């Protein structure tokens, strides 16, 4: 009977499956449980990175204690900060057990280094069949605060027509009053800057346009405020760097000088001569000119093009450890609404102009921001609040996404580097955002 059974080939598949089912489930379980362990590991690493940074952030008790120390050495309070912050980041994460956390925060001269190590156990499920009840995960995060972190700042200022709105409610009221005519009974709150390029290449400005009406009657526009705030920021950077004149290099750019030639305008080439740069920016950051109302279907604010043209000039970001390898910060100041001729990738419904073609009005598309951040650029964003305009065009095309404008501007920025300010707050906000950047620690590993 036994010899007959062994010679019989019927039912081999079923028998083999029965014999192999346990190891098959075990191996599959290893894959599932290992993937789960990697997911937990990623969350723990994120908490470790955040804890290493938080322990030496400018506002933390540990950082304040570090600067109060007379000499070098470990900073116990910062080490406790790091451990507490690590646990706090994981309050809603389940499926693991922390075995150990240790932190080392050490001051050496003006530099502070933070190291957070962790080890955790992740229980398995299917892999227990093979005798593997747990998976151990471990890692570390290192951050450094260096007083002498070299940085290049590239201020990208939106100077397109929407930034010509009068700065305050008083300015708006005055602007409307000054521009109210028989042909324009409702007046206009925008200081449209009209100019034309003549056949000989010279540019002739319309001395009677709203821009000159504002200038001649001391009406402040939003772009005027941005120009003044930019100059103040450059002066703040001069004070902040002290005697180390190579610590910061700064360049100032606008979206373009004229709508007829929408090319990035370099107002100030990157320089360490920040006093001269401040004066140059104050005098030369102006509203973009247009040859007339409705030119190019008003499709003049293109964030994708501005970012692309700017980054083509910048090269790769560095570590910030010396002047030859500076960190690179793109500092965007804008009201956050794009108005361009892109159609295939527009994130909002298109308007089709019979003369000019598709018009894409949308909050800033963050795709280009995400790409730049992955390349190592830091993006700081000052959102100059887009003011609702009570007219039919606004109601149909802008109002539906008004609430998204600030959200997308924040999403464009690097973590912690977003401010929103109405016109009155732009000056202080630009300087505050700069100071926040230079006080930030640097994640090393």
The model's pLDDT over 307-359, given as tens digits with 9 standing for 90+, comes to 999 999 999 999 888 899 999 999 999 999 999 999 899 999 999 998 999 99
Q: Give the list of residues 6+ apart from residue 130 with CB closer than 8 angstroms, or none.
A: 23, 26, 27, 29, 30
**What is the C-alpha separation between 369 and 374, in angstroms, rounded?**
9
pLDDT of residue 127: 66
Please state the pTM of the whole predicted model. Answer: 0.74
pLDDT at 156 over 80: yes
Of 98-107, 281-290, 407-416, least confident by mean pLDDT is: 98-107
**What is the C-alpha separation between 60 and 50, in angstroms, rounded?**
13
| Mean pLDDT, all residues of the chain | 86
- Could you tell me where the beta strands, DSSP code E, fall in 366-431? 378-384, 418-421
Give percent of the chain with pLDDT exceeding 90: 54
Residue with more model confidence, 268 or 132:
268
pLDDT of residue 168: 85
H/E segment holding residue 253: strand 248-254
The CA angle 428-369-54, to the nearest 5 degrees, is 60
**What is the C-alpha separation between 194 and 105, in angstroms, rounded?**
58
Given a contact cutoff of 8 angstroms between Cβ atoms, the answer to whether 291 and 260 are in contact is: yes
pLDDT of residue 4: 60
pLDDT of residue 29: 56
Name the residue with tokens 């955040």. Answer: 50
pLDDT of residue 221: 94
Q: Which of 49-63, 85-99, 222-236 has the largest mean confidence? A: 222-236
Strand partners, 232: none
pLDDT of residue 1: 57
Residue 405, classed as helix, strand or coil, is helix
Closest residue by Cα to residue 336 from 426, 404, 433, 425: 404
pLDDT of residue 319: 86
Q: Give the list of residues 6+ apart from residue 396 with CB closer than 8 angstroms, or none.
A: none
pLDDT at 149 over 80: yes
pLDDT in tens, 1-23: 556 655 655 555 555 555 555 55
Buried b (16+ CB within 10 A) or exposed e, 13-39: eeeeeeeeeeeeebeebbeebeebbee
Given a contact cutoff of 8 angstroms between Cβ atoms, the answer to whether 114 and 55 are in contact is: yes
pLDDT in tens, 274-314: 999 999 999 999 999 999 888 999 999 999 999 999 999 99
pLDDT of residue 274: 96
Give percent of the chain with pLDDT exceeding 70: 87
Q: Which of 120-124, 202-206, 278-282, 392-396 has the largest mean confidence? A: 278-282
pLDDT of residue 410: 97
pLDDT in tens, 61-80: 555 555 555 467 888 877 88
pLDDT of residue 265: 97
């Amino acid at each position: 009977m036994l010899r007959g059974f062994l010679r019989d080939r019927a039912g081999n598949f079923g028998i083999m499956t029965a014999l192999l089912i346990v190891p098959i489930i075990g191996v599959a379980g290893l894959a599932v449980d290992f993937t789960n362990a990697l997911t937990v590991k990623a969350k723990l690493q994120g908490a470790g990175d955040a804890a290493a940074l938080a322990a030496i952030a400018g506002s933390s008790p540990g950082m304040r204690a570090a600067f109060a120390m007379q000499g070098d050495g470990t900073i116990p309070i910062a080490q406790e900060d790091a451990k507490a912050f690590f646990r706090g980041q994981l309050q809603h994460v389940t499926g693991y057990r922390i075995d150990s956390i240790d932190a080392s925060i050490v001051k050496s001269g003006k530099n502070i280094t933070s190291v957070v190590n962790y080890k955790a156990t992740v229980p398995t499920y299917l892999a227990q069949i093979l005798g593997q009840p747990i998976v151990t995960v471990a890692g570390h995060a290192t951050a450094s605060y260096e007083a002498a972190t070299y940085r290049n700042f590239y201020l990208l200022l939106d100077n397109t027509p929407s930034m010509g709105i009068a700065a305050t409610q008083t300015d708006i009221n005055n602007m409307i009053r000054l521009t109210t005519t028989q042909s324009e009974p409702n007046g206009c709150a925008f200081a449209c800057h009209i100019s034309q390029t003549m056949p000989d290449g010279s540019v002739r400005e319309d001395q009677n346009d709203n821009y000159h009406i504002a200038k001649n009657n001391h009406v402040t526009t939003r772009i005027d405020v941005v120009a003044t705030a930019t100059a103040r920021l450059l002066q703040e950077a001069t004070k902040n760097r002290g005697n180390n004149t190579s610590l910061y290099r700064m360049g100032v750019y606008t979206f373009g000088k004229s709508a007829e030639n929408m090319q990035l305008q370099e107002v100030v080439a990157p320089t360490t001569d920040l006093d001269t740069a401040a004066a140059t920016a104050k005098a030369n950051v102006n509203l973009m000119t247009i040859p007339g109302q409705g030119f190019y279907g008003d499709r003049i604010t293109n964030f994708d093009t501005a970012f692309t043209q700017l980054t083509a000039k910048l090269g790769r970001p560095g570590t910030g450890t010396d002047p030859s390898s500076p960190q690179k910060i793109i500092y965007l100041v804008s009201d956050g609404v794009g108005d361009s001729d892109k159609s295939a990738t527009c994130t909002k419904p298109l308007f089709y102009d019979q003369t000019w073609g598709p018009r894409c009005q949308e909050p800033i598309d963050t795709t280009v921001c995400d790409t730049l951040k992955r390349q190592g650029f830091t993006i700081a964003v000052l959102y100059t609040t887009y003011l609702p305009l009570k007219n039919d065009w606004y109601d149909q095309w802008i109002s539906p996404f008004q609430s998204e404008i600030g959200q997308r501007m924040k999403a464009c920025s690097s973590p912690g580097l977003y401010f929103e300010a109405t016109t009155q707050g732009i000056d202080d906000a630009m300087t505050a955002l700069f100071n926040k950047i230079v006080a930030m620690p640097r994640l090393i590993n």
